[in-house]
Every structure is written in C-alpha cells, then in structure tokens.
C-alpha cells in the first residue's frame, strides 16, 4: 500500500495572505507563548523548469508557482533548549497540472543538560517531497516526480570522562516511503559510539564505530559495520579542516560481502565576517534507500556565501558526483551548479533569485537528463 498525505492548500493560502498582510502593515516581531518564541513565515515563488520529470526523451517543461507557509518555535532554558521548524509548500504546475502537489517538512531538536558531565539530544526531521532538495539527494535517485516520505531520528547521549575526553552513544533511525508502486519502502536502524579527545583547543581527535541495518518491507536486509576515526584541525583562526575515514564491512542483500574504505573531508575558510568558502569530499559504500542494492559513490563540492552589500547577499554551489549500483551495473555521473542572490527589501520582506543546472550522464540511457531551473521568490517573516 502506498502513502498519501493530506492536502494543505487552503491552510497555505490563508497563511500567506495573513503573513503578507502583516508584513506590509505591521512591525516584524516574534510571538511569545510563555517562554517559547514563535515566528511565522510565508513566501510566493515563480520558477521555470526545463525538464520537470528528469527525462532523457519526451522532455516536459513547465512554469511552476509555489505558495508556502511555515513557522519557527524556539525555547532557551538554563539547562535545556528546543527548536521546531515546519513548512508547507504548494507547487502549482501551469502546463502539466497533474503534477501539482503539496510538500511538507518538519524538524525538531531538543537538548538537555542532565548534570555538569552528562547531556543528551533528540533530533527528528520529517520530509515529504516530490523532487530531490539538493544535488546529493539527486545522485543515484530513481528519476521522475513521485511522492517521497522520509523521517530521520537521532538520539545522542554524551558524558564528559575528563576535561579533554568525552564519550557518546548514538542511535539513528530512518523511514523511507515512496508513492511509486514499483518502488519498495525501507527502514534503516543504526547504533554507534564515539570517543572525542581535545588534544588542544586547535586539535580535536575522535574514534567512531557504527552498525547499520537497512531493511526493505517484506524482503531482505543489508548490514554495514563502520570503524574509523577523524580530526578537526584549526590551521588558522578562520581556516579549519574536518577529516575522517575508516573501513566499511558491508553484507549485501544477497549475502555478498564487501570491505571498502570511507572518507569524509570538509575544509572551511571564514575569509572575513562577510564571506565563507567550503570544500567537501565524500567517498563511501552504503545500502541504498531506492532499491535493494549497494551504492558505491564519491562526490566533491564547493560553496561560497558572501554578504556583497549591506542588503544584498549571494551564494554559489558546485557539485560533481559519481555513483555505481553494484548489482545491476548502473553508473551515474552528476554535475550540478546553483547560483543565488538575496536582497533585503525591508526588515520584513526579502526578494530572492536563483539559477540551478544539473546534468546526469549514465551508462543506462534512460537515466540521462539535463535540467535548468530559474526562479524568483518573495518571502516575509512576522
């Protein structure tokens, strides 16, 4: 049985009307509900998409209007804190109305200090979409517009063992549900532990172990054992490197065993108060959520964000990734580029524009596509 979430069109339209009315006539502020600060957001956007279904042939283009509403709720206590973010988006397709859809996302984070040495955190992120939200999600994804429901739950408990050494126990759970009848739903459970040692204020070392189980509904499971370590090293006050790596021991759905390295590297340079540059590299084997297969992939990306003027900011992100499904011999190469700008019209209103290009070259011809998306949006907060 496939899954449909309720339609929130009316709620979204009302929220946007109220938000823009307040933004145009009132003063931007946060509502206070006891000790909880609440902000309401609303936006309207228009975009052109040259290939809405990620198709290699019979390409469909469209003009899409998006109405969105959301809220942020924040609580800061002496020993605990909480944050809740919720968004609802209505995409209206002008030329292909059958693809009109409603997407939602909800994230929650709670942190509690139990004692001076003990603390725990709970984070949950729910995402119901019809298209991938970033380049990393696009790599290896089954093409098309279809409903995807994902929930990610993280629970961490940390204890300071000394002034420099701390230990963390971790649990991670993920649910992946799809509306397409030929795609299977799956569940991921992970348990792990981490030791962190602050060698100096500039050098932090850590060792990790994680065990994963990916299970498809009414079918088989794959397991992964990851063992490794890493370092955060400040080279200067504004330039630092996060690097980790290790070995993955993967037992696939058909009981085939793989032993492969994993590597994660991020370089961050806060050039000044206005500009930040990041570079990322990732290489890993993992059990895919899209099909009963092991995905061997690597990716490299870079981003720049900058406050260009007092009211104008800009950003750019470039991505290249290569992924191979081992069982069915499918290899995808994805290149992506995103450029955006954001202008503060008033304290309550912002105007944004962006351009996104992506291209997949695959050894399976039906997975090839080229996609251009240009958009402009206005949003308000009250």
Instruction: Judge whether 99 and 105 are in contact, CB under 8 Å.
Output: no
Would you state the pLDDT for residue 62? 97
Q: Which residues are within 8 A (CB) of 44 and not within 5 positions of it... i.e. 6 or more apart?
A: 16, 20, 65, 66, 67, 68, 377, 378, 379
Residue 78 confidence (pLDDT) above 70? yes
DSSP E strand stretches across 57-185: 62-76, 80-93, 101-113, 118-129, 148-160, 165-178
Nearest CA to 135 out of 360, 362, 292 is that of: 360
Residue 3 covered by a domain:
no
Burial of 15 (0-12, 13-18, 19+ CB in 10 A): buried
Q: Calculate what percentage of the chain has a pLDDT beyond 90.
A: 84
Query: Is 335 contained in some domain?
Result: yes
Q: Which CATH number do you get for residue 238?
A: 2.40.160
Per residue in 85-100, pLDDT (tens digit) is 999 999 999 999 999 9
Number of domains in the chain: 1
Q: Is the pLDDT of residue 306 over 90?
A: yes
| Contact between 274 and 307 (Cβ < 8 Å) | yes
What pLDDT shows up at residue 15? 40
Average pLDDT estimate for 151-168? 97
**Domain assignment present for 122:** yes
How many C-beta neighbours within 10 Å does residue 14 have? 12
**Percent over 70 (pLDDT), the chain:** 92
In whole angstroms, give the CA distance from residue 192 to residue 59. 44
C-alpha span between 207 and 166 (Å, rounded): 11
For residue 361, what are the CA distances in angstroms to 61, 149, 280? 20, 26, 22
Predicted confidence (pLDDT) per residue in 111-153, tens digit = 999 999 999 999 999 999 999 989 999 999 988 899 999 999 9
pLDDT at 126: 96
* Tokens (6 digits) for 175: 């649910």
pLDDT at 9: 38
Residue 343 falls within a domain, yes or no?
yes
Give Cα 381 to chain centroid, integer Å.
23
Give the model confidence (pLDDT) of 6-50 as tens digits: 333 333 343 444 444 443 334 445 788 888 999 999 999 999 999
Q: What is the mean pLDDT of the chain?
A: 91
Q: Nearest CA to 69 among 47, 96, 102, 27?
A: 102
Does a structural domain hold residue 4?
no
In a domain, 1, yes or no: no
Give the domain range for residue 147: 9-381
Contact between 126 and 45 under an 8 Å Cβ cutoff? The reply is no
| 162 to 116, 117, 197, 261, 351: CA distances (angstroms) | 12, 9, 9, 31, 49
**297 in any annotated domain:** yes
Any domain includes 152: yes
How do residues 308-360 score in pLDDT, each as one tens digit?
Answer: 999 999 999 999 999 999 888 899 999 999 999 999 999 889 999 999 999 99
- In this prediction, residue 142 carries a pLDDT of 87
Instruction: Read off the DSSP letter of residue 327.
Output: T
pLDDT at 109 (0 to 100): 97
pTM here? 0.86
């Amino acid at each position: 049985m496939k899954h449909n979430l309720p339609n929130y069109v009316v709620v979204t339209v009302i929220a946007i009307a109220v938000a823009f009315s307040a933004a145009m006539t009132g003063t931007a502020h946060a509502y206070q509900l006891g000790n909880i600060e609440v902000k309401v957001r609303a936006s309207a956007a228009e975009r052109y998409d040259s290939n809405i279904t990620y198709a290699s042939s019979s390409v469909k283009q469209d003009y899409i209007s998006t109405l969105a509403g959301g809220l942020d709720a924040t609580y800061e206590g002496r020993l605990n804190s909480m944050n809740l973010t919720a968004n609802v988006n209505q995409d209206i397709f002008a030329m292909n109305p059958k693809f009109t859809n409603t997407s939602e996302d909800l994230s929650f984070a709670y942190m509690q200090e139990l004692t001076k040495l003990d603390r725990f955190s709970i984070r949950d992120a729910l995402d119901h979409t019809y298209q991938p939200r970033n380049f990393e999600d696009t790599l290896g994804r089954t093409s098309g517009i279809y409903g995807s429901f994902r929930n990610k739950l993280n629970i961490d408990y940390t204890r300071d063992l000394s002034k420099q050494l701390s230990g963390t126990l971790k649990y991670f759970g993920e649910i992946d549900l799809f509306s397409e009848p030929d795609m299977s739903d799956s569940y991921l459970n992970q348990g792990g532990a981490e030791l962190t040692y602050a060698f100096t204020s500039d050098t932090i070392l850590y060792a990790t172990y994680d065990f994963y189980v990916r299970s498809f509904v009414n079918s088989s499971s794959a397991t992964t054992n990851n063992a490794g370590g890493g370092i955060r090293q400040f080279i200067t006050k504004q330039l630092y490197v996060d690097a980790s790596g290790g070995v993955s021991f993967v037992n696939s759905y058909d009981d085939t065993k793989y032993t492969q390295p994993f590597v994660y590297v991020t370089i961050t340079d806060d050039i000044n108060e206005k500009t930040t540059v990041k570079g990322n590299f990732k290489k890993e084997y993992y059990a895919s959520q899209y099909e009963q297969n092991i995905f061997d992939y690597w990716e490299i990306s870079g981003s720049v964000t900058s406050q260009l003027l007092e009211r104008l900011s800009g950003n750019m992100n470039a991505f290249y990734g290569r992924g191979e499904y081992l069982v069915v011999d499918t290899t995808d190469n994805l290149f992506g580029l995103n450029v955006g700008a954001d202008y503060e019209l008033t304290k309550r209103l912002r105007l944004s524009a962006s351009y996104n290009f992506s291209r997949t070259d695959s050894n399976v011809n039906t997975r090839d596509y080229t996609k251009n998306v240009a958009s402009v949006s206005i949003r308000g907060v009250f």
